[in-house]
Amino acid sequence: MELNNIIKIFGNKNKSKRLGRGIGSGVGGHTVGRGAKGQKARAGNKHLQGFEGGQVPLFKRLPQIGGFISHTAQEVVTLDLSKLNSFKEGSKVSIKELIAKNMVSPMSKKALVKVLGNGTLEKKLTLIGFTYSKSAKIAVEKAGCELQA
> Which of 18 and 78 is assigned the larger pLDDT?
78
Domain with CATH 3.100.10.10 in the chain: 76-148
Instruction: Give residue 114's pLDDT.
Output: 93
Q: For residue 135, give every residue at least 6 positions away whose Cβ sits within 8 Å of its Cβ, in sequence order, or none.
A: 116, 117
- pLDDT score for 24: 79
The predicted pLDDT at position 60 comes to: 86
pLDDT in tens, 6-26: 888 888 888 777 888 888 777
> Model confidence at 69, in pLDDT bands (50, 70, 90)?
confident
Top-confidence residue, 124 or 22 = 124
Q: How far apart are CA 148 and CA 126, in angstroms?
A: 7
In angstroms, the Cα distances linking 17 to 21, 26, 28, 39, 103 are 10, 8, 11, 22, 71
Mean pLDDT score across all residues of the chain: 86
Query: What is the structure's pLDDT at 79?
Result: 92
Q: How large a percentage of the chain has pLDDT more than 90?
A: 32
CATH class of 76-148: alpha beta
Residue 116: pLDDT band by 50, 70, 90 thresholds?
A: very high
What does the pLDDT look like over 86-106, one tens digit per residue? 999 999 999 999 999 998 888
